Structure 1
């Protein structure tokens, strides 16, 4: 029902928009892999195969030119700050009236980030955001691929780099994040992405 409601609001708010609804991050990633970009991706955080913001990271990696809007019932300041820190184009609480959701979608479509006013930010999220901000664009892409669970060889193939270049980026990422391996890098991102599976 939520998916149908959002589809209707998006088609009404965004002139000429068509919608495609899926029920999991895996389905969304599969669709993103087949297209150059979407006009906008509306992402519910409560999908069966999502863990924290892992779905956002996966979709950013697969569709880097598509603005991603988090649409969720979880409206905590920490959730809002995490979405902003990870590069979401907006954060829309499901509790908003449909006309307000439509207005926010129009603003995001016009290139204006749209986030609710938030309470005092969580210092762990601010620290994780600072670590991400210190990365170069190439390092950021490698980190997104790392968060998606890819090996160095897979990352190299997916973003058209040599394995040596990926390893060099990995070393720079570890240095800038103050960690010494992949697991520690993922743990450093935990305030943004949710718990790391053991």
Structure 2
């Protein structure tokens, strides 16, 4: 695939990137190479927040050696729009970047398929314990999470403060032993399908 002539700028650190480019720079996309590092580290979250703060309109794509589905889902929760494993071909990587540039999101299906068994097993074990676990308000928040609604929307629709929604979400995650909102939706959707 041929790409139009573009200015591609390489930086060895987030600090260098933010220092060199100002907020008015027309950054179309940020490709963040993690190598063998994982997104679970505190440094990654700090770097990601820094990039989002300085370049709010530029989608962020990770390129990493890790193909773990949980890492992929976490990255999406943090606002990453593309997740390209280093095992991907150059053609797939370029197509993924093109998809993200036009507003799409890319995750490698192969990583999710290979991790499906562990995800499904965990969700099935947890889903059996969901019945009777939540108060009426928590159940309403769970239903909204299953629909992919943001905290602000949930707060508006359920006539509560956004901070209260956050407390409910944390409590729900703790009760389900879920690591993120996506996992809460997955576990509770799976439970609804079994009922």
Q: TM-score range by the shorter chain?
A: 0.5 to 0.7
Give how far 1:33 is off.
3.8
Query: Equivalent residue for 2:93?
Result: 101
Does residue 19 (structure 1) correspond to residue 8 (structure 2)? The answer is yes
Q: Give the number of the structure whose alpha-carbon radius of gyration is greater.
A: 2
**Structure 1: tracts of 5 or more residues without a match:** 1-11, 138-167, 180-189, 193-198
How is 1:82-101 mapped onto 2 (pairs within 5 angstroms)? 82-101=74-93
Judge conservation of contact 2:33–2:62 (CA < 8 Å) in 1. yes
The Cα shift of 1:173 comes to: 7.5
Corresponding residue for residue 191 of structure 2: none
TM-score (norm: length of structure 1): 0.53
- TM-score computed with the length of structure 2 as normaliser: 0.54
Q: How many angstroms does 1:55 deviate by?
A: 2.1
Instruction: Choose 92-101 or 63-72, whichever is displaced more.
Output: 92-101
Residues in 2 aligned to 1:44 and 1:176: alpha-carbon distance in whole angstroms: 35
1:115, 1:65 → 2: CA distance? 20
Alpha-carbon distance change, 58 to 104 in structure 1, aligned in 2, over 3 angstroms = same
| SS of aligned partner of 2:61 | strand
Pairwise CA RMSD: 3.9
Say whether the 8 Å CA contact 1:45–1:53 is kept in structure 2: no
Q: How many residues align?
A: 138
Higher relative contact order (CA closer than 8 Å, sequence separation 6+):
1
User: In structure 1, what is the equivalent of residue 104 of structure 2?
Assistant: 112
Partner of 1:136: 152
Q: Which runs of 5+ in 2 are unaligned?
A: 124-141, 154-160, 172-178, 182-195
